[in-house]
Structure 1
C-alpha cells in the first residue's frame, strides 16, 4: 500500500502498556448447538466482528460508559510505533472516504475512535481481550484492536500483507457505518425472539455487508489516493477468504456446521468484498435484500 505522506487520524486512543483492568470480567462465551466447543465459537463469532454481546446476544449487559476505565497512557519507550502509524493512516483514509460518501448523500459522517490495546482493555461492551480479535462496540462507537492480531493473521491464518491488515480495519469501520445508518439497531430489534439459527443467519448478513463496505472504502480510497500496489487486491481477498466460517470451523474442529455460521463462508466473504471493491456503490451492498449471499 502507498501510505507515504498520508495523514494520521487523530481518533486513535493508544492504551498499550497500560493494562486497563478486568472490570466486570472477561466476555462470557456460550457454547452453541451442534457440538461446537468454546474455541471454535470464539473463532467463528469474534474474528472481525461486532462485539458478540450486542449482536449475538448472551452474556451480561454491557456496563454504562461511566463505568468504563480508559487508560490513555503512552506506550512504553521503544515500543514499535510503526503499527500505530499504519493503523492511524488507514483509519484516516476511512474517514476521508466515508466523509465523502456521506457528504454526497447530504449527511455528515461521524468517525469512530479506534482503541489500540495490548493484552486487554475495558470497553462499553465489556472487557476486550487479545484472543477476542478486533471488534466494534456500538455502545461507545469505538473499534478495538490489538495489533498482535496482525501477526496471527499472517502466521496462523495465512493472510499476510498491509492491505490484508487494512481490510480488517475497514471491515470494523464498516460496522460503525452500519451503526450510524441505524442498521445495527434495526437488526438487534429484529433478532429479539428469534431462534438461534435465524439469528445467526441475520448476523451473517451484517458481516457480509461490512465486508462490502470494506470494499467500498478500498474503491473510493483508490480513486482519491491511488494507494493500491500490485498484489494488494489479492491480499485483501485472501484475508476475506481466510476468515470464512467454513474455513475457520474446519481448522478448529475438522468439520463444517453451516447453520452455525455467523460471518459467512469464505466464498461469500470474498464475493461481497469484491462487490464493494469493483462497484464502489453502497447500494450494491444490500445483503438484506437478496436471496443469494
Structure 2
C-alpha cells in the first residue's frame, strides 16, 4: 500500500503514556477480538476475554458499571506527547495511522455526499496499555475498538505487532483493514445501525444477540472492503495488498481464534463471524465498492 507523502488526518489524539488506574475492561464498544491476553503480564486470560465479549455484546448499554465499580479517571490531556517507551508521537506508525484515517475520511465523505448527506469524521485515539473511553475502561488485551458514545476509535498500535507475529497477518494493508473495520462501525453508528442494535439486544437472548452481533461485524468488514476498493481505484494499492487484508480477516475469525486458543470451537458463542464469513464480506465490499452491497441483515451471512 502506497501511503507515504499523502494527506494525514488531524483527527488523532495521542494518549500514549497517559497514567491510568482501575480495572482493565471495556464496555459497549465494537472491537476486534484477539483471542487471549498479551504475553508478559497485564493481559486477560482467555476466560477473561470471553467474559468481556459476552458483557460487551449481550448485556445492556453500559456493562462496565458491573465491572469497574464506578468512574475511573486518568491523567493527561490527550495531546501529542512521548510514549512510555520514548517513541515520538510523529513516528512512522503514527504517520501511517493518520494517513489511513485521512483516506477513510475522504472515501466516506464522498460516499455520504453522493446521497446528500454529510459525513462526520470520527476521532482515532492512540493509547498504550490502557485507556478510558465514553464506553468505559479498556486494556490493550481487548484489541482495537470503536465507542459509539464518543464516536472515537481506540487503538494500541502494538496490536499490529501481535497481528503480524502472533497471528501471521503482516503487511500495511492488513493493518489498514483493522482501522477501516473500526471506521466501518462509525459509519454504522451514523446511519443508525449501532443505536438500533444496542436497543434490540436488551430484549434478546444470548444466542440471538450473538447472531445479530455477527451481522453487525460482517457489515463493518464489508464497509472496510468498500473503502479498500475506493483506495485501489485511486491507485494506492500494490500487488498482494488484497491478499494481506483477506489473510487478516481469516486470522481473526471466531472459529480460527477459538481453535488457536482453546483447541475447539463453540459456534453459538461466535459474535464476529467465522474466517470464511469475514473474508467473504470484506471481498464483497471490495468487489462492489458500494455500501449498498453490505446488507448483512437480510438472508444468510
What TM-score do the two structures reach when normalised by structure 1? 0.87
State the 1:57 CA deviation.
2.5
What is the CA–CA distance in structure 2 between the aligned matches of 1:252 and 1:121, rounded to whole Å?
25
Quote the residue 2:212 is aligned against. Answer: 202
Q: Which residue of 2 aligns with 1:90?
A: 100
Whether the aligned pair in 2 keeps the contact of 1:216 and 1:276 (CA below 8 Å) is yes
The 2-side partners of 1:65 and 1:267 are apart by 39
Residue of structure 1 in register with 2:254 after alignment: 245
The normalised TM-score by structure 2 is 0.85
CA distance in 2, matches of 1:41, 1:202: 22
Tell me, in whole angstroms, the C-alpha distance in 2 between the residues paired with 1:52 and 1:110. Answer: 30
C-alpha contact (below 8 Å) 2:174/2:245 kept by paired residues? yes
What's the counterpart of residue 26 of structure 1?
A: 24
The 1-side partners of 2:231 and 2:94 are apart by: 20
- Cα distance in structure 1, aligned partners of 2:227 and 2:58: 26
Instruction: Give the C-alpha shift of residue 72 in structure 1.
Output: 2.3
Once the 2 structures are TM-superposed, how far is the Cα of residue 189 of structure 1 from its aligned partner? 1.2
Within the candidate set 78, 81, 91, 1:74 is matched to 81
CA–CA distance in 1 between the matches of 2:64 and 2:87?
38
Distance 1:110 1:42, change over 3 A: farther
Distance 2:283 2:72 in 1: 40
Q: Compared with structure 1, are the counterparts of its residues 166 and 73 closer, same or farther at alpha carbon in structure 2 (3 Å cutoff)?
A: closer
Task: Tell me if the contact between 1:44 and 1:262 (Cα under 8 Å) persists in the aligned partners.
Answer: no
Who is 1:150 aligned against?
A: 160
Instruction: Give distance in 1, aligned partners of 2:50 and 2:111.
Output: 31
Contact 2:250–2:279 (CA under 8 A) maintained in structure 1: yes
Q: Which residue of 2 aligns with 1:14?
A: 14
How many residues are aligned here?
279
Distance in 1, matches of 2:279 and 2:248, equals 9
Closer, same or farther: CA 200–103 of 1 in aligned 2, 3 Å = same
Asked whether the equivalents of residues 219 and 295 of structure 2 are also in contact (C-alpha less than 8 Å), the reply is yes
Matched, 1:57 2:59: yes
Displacement after TM superposition at 1:289 (Å): 1.0
2:283 is the counterpart of 1:281 = no
Structure 2: give runs of 5+ residues left out of the alignment. 28-34, 37-43
Name the SS for the 1:192 alignment partner.
helix
Query: Shift of the alpha carbon at 1:41?
Result: 5.5
Q: Give the corresponding residue for 1:260.
A: 269
Looking at structure 1, the residues matched to 107 and 225 of structure 2 have their Cα atoms a distance apart, in angstroms, of: 11
Consecutive unaligned residues in structure 1, runs of 5 or more: 30-35
Residue deviations 1:178-224, cap 9 Å, x none? 0000100111111122111110000000000000000000111222x
Deviation of 1:42 after TM superposition, in Å, equals 5.8
Question: What is residue 40 of structure 2 aligned with on the other side?
Answer: none
Shift of 1:239: 0.3
